[in-house]
Structure 1
Amino acid sequence: MRRGLAPAVFCAFCLFVGTAEGSGAVVKVDFAHPQRAGNALGFMHGAVARLAPTLAARYSARAEQLRPGVWRGVPRAWSLDLPSVVGSGARPIIVLSDLWGLPGHWPTISPLDDPSRYEAWVHRQARALGAQMPTGLIWVDVWNEPDTGKFWPVADDPHLHGYMETFLLAERALRSELGSRVRVIGPSTSKNPSLWTGRLIGFCARRGCRIDAVAWHVCGGGKKTMGGLAASLRRARRKAKADRIWHRVLRPGAQFLIAEYTPPAQRRVPGALLAYWAQIEAGGADNAALATWDHGRPQDGLLDALLDLDGRPRATWWAARAYAIGRVGRVRTSSSSPEWPALATRRGTDGLREILLGSWGSSAGRVRVRVAGLPNGRYLMRVGVMYPVGSSWTGTDVRPIQHRAGAVRVVHGQVTLSIRVPKGAVLSVQLGSR
């Protein structure tokens, strides 16, 4: 955004703040109640080793600024550069099936055709991983989306019995080679997490395998699936505590991961990303990673579409940066509708109290924000906007400009605002001293 446009944009922001009447959703923020939050920012692949040195440096710097929790892929030039991943602060998650291959591209046979050969292969891969990562834990996702024909021969194995036998072989081989250093993840299915997770855990209870982290993907289903994500996570966590079979199979302190999220249509919509982040945090997930789709087109860009092909940040990257900065200072936040997500922090961008408000993308709307837990007094409110990525799919090196939206008075620790959120956008609402 060019600074010469600032006066016109400032006038537009006058429309964002108004009376508390006519709100489409209600957001509640309590700055007096800090809240622990998992990390909903993580990535897949990256191929940084194939980028030109200048672009690779820009890419790595932008990734580090987002403080990712995990990074999924394999230690190959087309996927993960382990030093870069570790340098970003992320934990590598090795997707073992990506090393084996895809249906139609497997090394002569599938795991179902020759289990002993597959088991021997896992032993070799485990030894190689141990050499590549000589210290620390090694997290391994056994198979990516075994419930889809793209990644597993579902036509021949519709109930995934063969997948579960394959999981058992891999789990035993990994623990045999890596011992207490390995953490085994499953089932990483594309849908129906309760069904497939329950079946895998029941199988492991009978056959003696252990699971260190439960993972699944949320890359379809639109706003309905997104809106139920927090509830799905909470059900799984409750099951892990209350069900004796789950308790026996899952390692104490087992993690819960959303190993991939965002359909292609939503990955360029900042408000949709905020909706996923809010659901992932509310459900108690430990970590999550953005999905990667096709590569090589300008609209795909870099860093799971957060950057353009020149490494410049898109509006979605700026929204992710605001999320990353504010996560450690998260405070209690809720919204009456998952389509109007919100997250707040005591210390956000510029060190100020900050509320992120978003629109899933169906429409613009006015959101009523009830703020509590603030010292009494007058606060200067500044509002910044991050719009959905345009059709050109280009980024910018200029951060979103914050605009003064007026002063608000806090009485008895509370204030109510009514703020219009543009379609698909994320608003950064900062409250600072006047």
Structure 2
Amino acid sequence: MQFTFKFQSLNKLLPICLAIVTLLLIVYLGQQRSIAQMRSNVTVDFGSPATDTISMSGILHGIDTTKPPDSSIKPLQAKLWRAGRLDIYDRVIASGAEFQLVVSDLWGYGSNPKGWPYQNYPAWEAFVRQLAQQNKGKKIIWDVWNEPDLRNPFWNGSREQFFETYKRAYRILREELGPSAMIGGPSITTYNKEYLTAFLDYCKANKLEVNFLSWHELNDTMILFVDDHVIDAKRNFQQSASYRELKLQKIYVNEIVGNLAQYEPGEILGYLYNLEYAKADGACRACWDTTGGKKVSNCFNNTLSGMVTPNTFEPRAAWWAYKTYADGVNSRVLSRSDNDRVVALASKSNPEGNAQVLLGYFDRNYSSATTVTLNLRNLPQLGIQSGQKIRLKLEKIPNNQERALQKLVTVKEESVSVVRNDLNYVIPNFNVHEGYLLTVSK
């Protein structure tokens, strides 16, 4: 029997097969390029201490007189606490933080029966005077009004009416409390240079001091620019001879971390790193509603602005981001990353006496993981010599949102020998929104 093979069908399929193979090669090679691009290199120099480091650990609202317990508060080592109530003053001061009082919170905004200040200036002045008289001798930073550029719910008048409101409050506070009282603002919703210039020009024209300048950074897509804003404000306002008579002493970014990032360790560390780098004088974590169907404000449920769980006060990932950040502030060393969205906060000594590197990866528009290569330099500055074995412990701060996190997730522990004075360490599959803590011990 004779067999005859016909290749007509195969000939028709051949171009299709070639096209599929070509497409797969393009996709494969494209993936290879993408993978190659998603590598981040971080250098830490334990021989180069950072100078004049200021902690950005701070909180807006978040507590009452007893809750959450001190054991939840103390590890965060908050340096600035912004609140609209006075019954927590003693607790805040005992924690080691400065107390910033939002006067407008006590006035009540539009819900005050007397209306907005510009509708009844005598009532506003009497209120401020009584408040000052009742709190003489307390170490209060006086923040006159919250977000006067946000029409609802915090302001219903014009910009000029807010300036007048500040002027009347400032003069009474200065009269009652003397020249050392810290009075400032305007605590607007974003870094609006035109608004800040108009405010400072008004104060200059009316011979008012602005002892601190403040605004909020709550746009989670703009984390890369918060340091630029602080540097710009220092150069154009604080250090400017034109505004010297305002006695502008401090730059406070007194609300940070937006709604989208409130539980995300990577973004939180991005805010803290950039503000610390720019040498702001203080920052406070903002508070937002909880997620899910039944929303509750994290401002007033005693959760440290959402960092611990309600009622049970268990730590969340956000709490661990702040805690590990605070652990390293006092011994900060210089670090450098070739990826702007991967930040490293390195320290020679945490409370246990060990060196640590705290890393965060943030990006609202990109979801791919990155591989981070850490180059740890000048290890002899930690008392580690060439040939010596050291212990490395890598822990993850996962992006687990509102769920409790009793402890950091241990990824790897190992003992390695140091060759020369440096060491390379690789962290693969570093996901966006997460944080990692590498601890170095002898």
Q: TM-score range by the shorter chain?
A: 0.7 to 0.9
State the Cα distance separating 1:87 from its structure 2 match. Answer: 1.9
Cross-structure match for 1:246: 243
* 1:403 corresponding residue in structure 2: 412
| TM norm structure 2 | 0.82
User: Quick check: 1:380–1:406 contact (8 Å CA) kept in 2?
Assistant: yes
Distance 1:369 1:195 in 2: 41
Aligned residues: percent identity? 23
Rounded Cα–Cα distance in structure 2 between residues aligned with 1:247 and 1:336 = 38
Amino acid at match of 1:183: M
- 1 CA distance for matches of 2:398 and 2:295? 21
What secondary structure, in the 3-state scheme, does the structure 1 residue paired with 2:433 have?
A: coil
Opposite residue 81 of structure 1, the aligned amino acid is I
Distance across 2 between alignment mates of 1:184 and 1:228: 27
Matched, 1:237 2:234: yes
Gaps of 5+ in 1: 1-20
Rounded Cα–Cα distance in structure 2 between residues aligned with 1:210 and 1:408: 58
DSSP 3-state at the match of 1:43: strand
Contact 1:29 1:333 in 2 (8 A): yes
After TM superposition, the structure 1 = structure 2 runs for residues 157-176 of structure 1, keeping only pairs within 5 Å, are 157=158, 160-176=159-175
Kindly provide the amino acid, as one letter, of the partner of residue 120 in structure 1: A
Q: Which whole-Å deviations, capped at 9, do the CAs of 1:157-190 have from their partners, x for residues lacking one?
A: 1xx1111111111111111111134201211100
- Give the distance between the partners of 2:411 and 2:132, measured in 1 at CA: 49
What secondary structure is seen at the aligned counterpart in 2 of 1:228?
helix
The aligned residue for residue 286 of structure 1 is 281
Letter in 1 for 2:266: G
Residues 393 and 410 of structure 2 are in contact (CA less than 8 Å); yes or no, is this contact kept in structure 1? Answer: no
Residue 400 of structure 1: how far off its partner (Å): 4.2
Q: CA separation in 2, counterparts of 1:61 and 1:32?
A: 34
- Distance in 2, Cα, partners of 1:34 & 1:247: 31
Aligned residues: 390
Aligned match of 1:270: 265
Q: Deviations over 1:341-388 (max 9, x none)?
A: 110000126321110111115432112323222224243221011101
User: Which stretches of structure 1, 4 residues or more, deviate above 4 A after TM superposition?
Assistant: 295-301
Q: Deviations over 1:166-217 (max 9, x none)?
A: 1111111111111134201211100133222221111111110001111110
Question: Are the counterparts in 1 of residues 289 and 296 from structure 2 also a CA contact under 8 Å?
Answer: no
1:17-28 matches, cutoff 5 A: 24-28=39-43
How big is the shift at 1:317?
1.1
Q: Which has the higher contact order (CA 8 A, sep 6+)?
A: 1
Match of 1:94 among 97, 101, 122: 101
Distance in 2, Cα, partners of 1:83 & 1:241: 31
- Structure 2: unaligned runs, 5 residues or longer: 1-35
Residue equivalent to 1:308: 309
The equivalent of 1:70 in structure 2 is: 80
Q: Is the 1:138–1:181 contact (alpha carbons within 8 Å) kept by the matching residues of 2?
A: no
Normalising by structure 1, we get a TM-score of 0.84
**Which position in structure 2 is the counterpart of 1:141?**
143
User: Following the alignment from structure 1 to structure 2, what is the Cα–Cα distance between the partners of residues 193 and 27?
Assistant: 33
Match of 2:126 among 113, 120, 127: 120
Contact 1:64 1:87 in 2 (8 A): no
Query: What secondary structure, in the 3-state scheme, does the structure 2 residue paired with 1:209 have?
Result: coil
Distance 2:436 2:63 in 1: 32
| Structure 1 counterpart of 2:7 | none
- Give the alignment's Cα RMSD to 1 decimal: 2.3
Question: Residue 109 of structure 2 contacts residue 115 of structure 2 at CA under 8 Å; is this kept in 1?
Answer: no
Number of the residue aligned with 1:209: 208
The aligned counterpart of 1:15 is: none
Given the alignment of the two structures, is residue 372 of structure 1 paired with residue 377 of structure 2, yes or no?
yes
Tell me the SS of whatever aligns to 2:227.
helix
**In structure 2, the residue corresponding to 1:150 is in which secondary structure?**
coil
1:6 paired residue number: none
